[in-house]
A and B are shown apart, each in its own frame.
Chain A
Amino acid sequence: MAQARLRRVVVILLVLLAMVSLASLLIGEAGLSLSDSLKGLFGHESVAGLIIYEIRLPRTVLALLVGAVLGLSGAALQALLRNPLADASIFGAPQSAALGAVAVLYTGLAGALSWVLPLAAMAMAMLSLWLLLLLAGQRAQVFVLLLAGLAVGSLAGAATSILIALSPNPFAITEIVFWLMGSFENRSMQHVVLAAPFIMLAMGLLLAQGNAYRALALGEETALSLGVDLDVVRHVTLLAVALGVGASVAVAGAIGFIGLAAPQIMRRFLSSDPKQILGPSALTGALLLELADVAVRLIPAQSEIKVGALTALLGAPLYLLAVRRETGQGRQA
């Protein structure tokens, strides 16, 4: 029964994902007509083909990859900490990663397409998560982590904007907004190549922890007695989340709330089994971010709305609802 439901949910997600991805290839500011776009999709030589394969395809693929790893990271962190309010973006990891990337970029240590960029972002994401757990303690309440994460995120965000403002850069404001709000504008296949290996590795590591996450549902002591190596699970999870978030931020800036929303949605529509929702949460994350990235292209605005602004706009209220539910306030209403 559970397996049939899982299969149905996965098929639905894949179909939706295919539809939204196609829409992402066909919609853009170049103002191609639908028939031109379709023709371009099947012929590289035309101008339309060039636009689709050089501009829209990398954008589409990146949104899929980043959304997937953020959704999966959220599901993994929620399983590890056994709390549906956990997410890397709540803990300040993306902002820290952005600081890492910006630090090497604006001190001239590395170019925008250098491998140093994702490495620095990953290192900072790792450092922030590690510091957070070190300061708050392994058994910290998630609300403590959340408050500490708020401080870490604010600190890193402020440092990022100051660092960019200090650099001799005429586009400083745009750049600050990119790093702190995230965007898939003007991405190329090189960005995909830069991020994809780390994202794939991160996803592999997280998916491999499924049985341990499920055993953790009974508490840490029981998981230990069942032979789960808690230290390994903790460290692998943190490392993988840092890899995924760092690589994502290096190519797309800090995008929040996908990791929070995706597992929440899967828990509602699929099951609460922390192992079973890992893969579907990745698909949901990809779908949400792809959807958001199509939406920012459709909303008429002076300059394109940053996709991270949209995910925060939709994600933050969802988070507040989840807080309300978790603290039991919702039940009395």
Chain B
Amino acid sequence: MRDLTLEHLRIGYGEKTVLGPLDAVFEPQCLHVLAGPNGAGKSTLLRHLAGVLTKQSGTVHLHGQALEKFNRFEKARQIAYLAQERELVWPLRVREVVMLGRHPHGSSLETATSIDEKAVDEAMQATGIGDWADRLVTELSGGERARALLARALATGAAWLLLDEPVAGLDPRQQFLVMAMLQDQVRRGRTVLVVLHDLALAARFADRILLLHQGLAVAHGPVETVLTEDVLADVFGLSARLSADAQGHNLQIHGVMPCNFR
């Protein structure tokens, strides 16, 4: 019962439903990729699980308990969320930002215990920003900023990491490093739900893929059962082929399906 279970979940804005009805089970200690075209409902799902959006109907159970039964801080200690919008208004220092991850534990810069300090240190080490404690976040490059915010999410100590396009705007090497870091977090016992647009990256790193299209689940499971030629043609209008080697899955995109070009 350490999983995250969605039953007939519907989420929307006002009357309009943008996601669901959706049934899915996310097993613990896996790297789950949420994939799908723009507007498929990937971010909507994460935003609901993070407590930003309310649902219209259905249930979500985390570790066997209904999500709404958790109080705000309990939930925030279980689920960390990296929003798509990377807002950083004030020129805070990197360590101050990462320490915000300890907010659900009732800790702040002023009241941090050795446990908080350790969690922050580890998060900064894991994202390779251990030396940046005193740098101003407003002066970081896009890639550096992404890592600082990722460290903030890690510092919560949450078992579940919900990341909305954490590699957006990063160069290929940085993308690869971030995904490898997430894989490492999964090995350490965490569960990752990550929205990715890069299907090749998803094929390489995912344990499970939930493919959404127009608010509904098209396929959910191991990479080879989801990223099939038919599905890729139907959902993305792409001609592509999946193969595997010792490192994992490789997705080769050959081109755009002419009839499906939208």
Interface residues of A (CB under 8 A from B): 2, 82-83, 210-211, 214-215, 217-219, 221-222, 224-229, 272-275
Contacts and interface: CB of A to CB of B under 8 A. Distances in A.
Interface residues of B, number: 33
A225 B50 contact: yes
A215 B103 contact: yes
A315 to B, nearest CB: 22
Residue in A2, A219, A222, A273 whose Cβ sees the most chain B Cβ within 10 Å: A222
Judged by DSSP, the binding face of A is loop
Interface stretch (B72-80, B199-207, B254-262): B72-80
B103 A228 contact: yes
Nearest to A274: B90
Interface stretch (B81-89, B184-192, B222-230): B81-89
Residue in A210, A214, A215, A274 whose Cβ sees the most chain B Cβ within 10 Å: A214
A225 B81 contact: yes
Contacts of B152: 218, 222
Given A272-B91, A273-B90, A227 B81 contact: no
A331 to B, nearest CB: 13
B108 A82 contact: no
B103 A273 contact: no
A272 B79 CA distance: 28
A227 B104 contact: yes
A119 B51 CA distance: 37
B108 A275 contact: yes
B96 interface: yes
Given A214-B100, A214-B108, A227-B75, A221 B81 contact: yes
Contact of A273 (B75, B88, B96): B96
Given A211-B103, A218-B100, A273-B96, A225 B87 contact: no
A227 B75 CA distance: 8
B133 to A, nearest CB: 10
B252 to A, nearest CB: 35
Given A225-B79, A225-B80, A217 B90 contact: yes
Nearest to B134: A1
A330 to B, nearest CB: 16
